[in-house]
Every structure is written in structure tokens, then in C-alpha cells.
Amino acid sequence: MTTGFFWDERCFWHSGGNYASTVPVGGLVQPLAAGGLPENPETKRRLKNLMDVTGLTRDLVVRSAEQASFDDLARVHPPEFLREFKRLSDSGGGELGLRTPFGQGGYEIAALSAGLSIAALDAVMRGEVTNAYALSRPPGHHCLPDFPNGFCLLANLSIAIRTAQARGLGKRFVVLDWDVHHGNGTEAVFLNDPDVLTISLHQDRNYPMDTGDIDVRGDGAGEGANMNIPLPPGAGHATYIEAMERLVLPAIRTFGPDAIVIACGYDAGAIDPLARMLATADTFRQMTRMVRELAEDLCDGRLMMAHEGGYSEVYVPFCGHAVLEEMSGSGITAPDPLAATFAARQPSARMEAVYSAYLDDLVAFFTPTG
């Protein structure tokens, strides 16, 4: 088993427009951060740093990628949107959507982030690696075709899937989004597509507050190919694992994909500033193991992940390391320094029973009758 790790230093240079210095220092050094945005380079940089310190990086196939081409981006995004994005980027930066500021060169960095996802999925589908992880930044799962949203400037995973389909590398894909926020952008791209099953496991009514309902099941030919699993705030490790076992894995098995793609956000982590869930590094490890084993059973192990959210600079690195340990089968570990603390803060047995009863209702809703 080989695991590809796709990253590029320049993705750390994405800046928040008015919220930070917009120009790389001397043209060659990451822009100076000025605060103001939860989405910043440090969570992802510290993951890469941790991997280098433990030695995990050496157990991976490390690559970069080219920027996604205009034609590849246009498989998801209207050309007029892309041209306006490029114009603003060249003129110093701006903001095209909601909570998506960018600085000079923002278009090129976003295209590089999308390019990492394209290359990671391409390598998996061609059998160059068993599975792959893209350390993409800026993230992508909130980006609508013509409206950037929630720190997401281009729809990275959607672009990667459409490109793989166009190259004849696969037809049927599952997107499992376990970022704590609803994957509204990915849902919008594939809502009418029966060949892409989108599953979002998210905190109910977090962000966006008006999407993510269970009754959005797809549209037209895509009816039944969208699955939203909103979890109540405070749901912890046991609830995430139960939701995977009872809802996510059966849906993927029934669909029978050519590959499984994961929007891998870590903001369900117990101390994330933008969420109120109680997942731990071991939660992400176990979910990864479940999906990896299912991919081995269904589609020759073809699994690709792209980094999405996660805003705790001290905890995201340990969650990401656990995921990559599990993907690669490496024996190199980074023990979770907060494991005992978070174990003591998990929901009580009474509350876990409440969450389990809630999942009973979801299972009943998604189970066909007649």
C-alpha cells in the first residue's frame, strides 16, 4: 500500500486580502499574517511540520502539482466567474462571494490548490498510489459554481472528480464530507448527477445555517444521490462512529463507487473555535480506517482525501497525523496529547443514548419502504 501526499509551499501563501498583507515579502516569502480570519496557514503548516518531525513524511510518496488549467476549472465554474476572479487577483485582490477575501495572486494559489486535488485523484485512479491526501489551501467544499463561500474560492474536489471523469479514469464517485460544516458547494455541483453520491456529516445549523437538511436527497436524475446527516451539537466520538456504521458505510456500499473521495475537515475536533462537537484524533483515525477498509473491499482501495477546514492550530496536526498514519499503514505515530482530557469530556451514557435515538430516526428516514 502506498499513500501519495500532495502539497505545495505556495498554498500557505493564500492571504485574506484586507485581513492580511497581500504580497509575498520580496516576492518569495509567505505574506505576513495580520489576524482576522480563522482560516490561516498555520493549521496546515503545523500538520506538515509534525509529519516531518515524526518522520511520517518519509513513509509517503510526496509530490506537488501544476495549477489546474482554465479548462479544468471550467468543468465546474462558469468562465465569466473565473475571468473576474483572475482580474481581481491581478489587480491586488478582493472578495467575490461571502467570507472569501483573497490577495494578489489569489487566483493562481486557488488554482494550485485545485491542481493538488486533481493530481491526487488522478494518481489514485491510474494506480500510481493506493490512496492519496491533498493538503489543499484554500479549501473548496463551500464554493458554489458561481459564488465563493466560507473561505472556499474554487470547488477543489468537484473539479478533481469532473476532471477524472473527463479523462475516462472513473465514472461513479462517492464524496464523503466529514468537515463539521455542511458541504453545500459539493452538494450544489452534483445535485442532479446520479453518478456522484454526496454525503455530508455535519453539525446541524452551523454553517451555512440554511442548508444541510435531511430531505435534500438530490434533484432530477440525481434523486437519492445526496445524503445529509446533521448531528446535534455536543455529539462526540461514539456518535460519529455510530453514524458511520449505520448510515455512511451502508450508503457507500449500496452505491458501489469507482473511488471514494473525502472532504477531510478537522473542525469537528473538540477544541475547534468554529464548532461545538467533541471528536478526537482517534475519531478521525477510526473513520479513516472504516473508509479505507471499505474502499479495499469495493474499489481496490481507491481513496483520496482533500484537506478542508479545521481551525485549532494545536489540535489539527494530531488529527491529520492520525488520518495519514491510517491511510499509509505507517508505524510512525504522534500520540494525541489531549486524549485523556477529551475522553473525560465525552457525552455521558445518558446523552449518548439520546444521540443514538436521534440516529434511529435518521436511519428510519433513509431506509426505503415498500
Bridge partner residues of 63 (DSSP): 6
Residues in Cβ contact with 251 at an 8 Å cutoff, skipping those fewer than 6 apart: 197, 199, 227, 366
Q: Cis peptide before 273, with omega less than 30 degrees from 0? A: no
Nearest Cα neighbor of 306 from 135, 131, 123 is 135
How far is 227 from 253, CA to CA, in rounded Å? 14
The residues assigned a catalytic role are: 142
Please name the helix (run of DSSP H) or strand (run of DSSP E) that holds residue 48, with its range, or none. Answer: helix 42-54
Sign of CA dihedral 130, 68, 143, 113: positive
* Residues belonging to the chain: 370
Residues in Cβ contact with 264 at an 8 Å cutoff, skipping those fewer than 6 apart: 133, 178, 179, 305, 306, 307, 308, 320, 323
Q: Phi, psi (5° rounding) for residue 287?
A: -65, -40
Tell me how far the alpha carbon of residue 50 is from its chain's centroid: 20
Nearest Cα neighbor of 362 from 202, 207, 254 is 202
Coil, strand or helix at 196: strand
Nearest Cα neighbor of 81 from 100, 56, 66, 63 is 100
Bridge partner residues of 149 (DSSP): 98, 152
Do 49 and 317 form a contact (C-beta atoms < 8 A)?
Answer: yes
Sign of CA dihedral 114, 299, 44, 56: negative
Q: What cell was used for 75?
A: 468543468
164-185 as b/e: b if 16+ CB within 10 A: bbeeebbebbbbbbbbbbbbbb
Q: What cell was used for 131?
A: 490512496
How far is 157 from 72, CA to CA, in rounded Å? 12
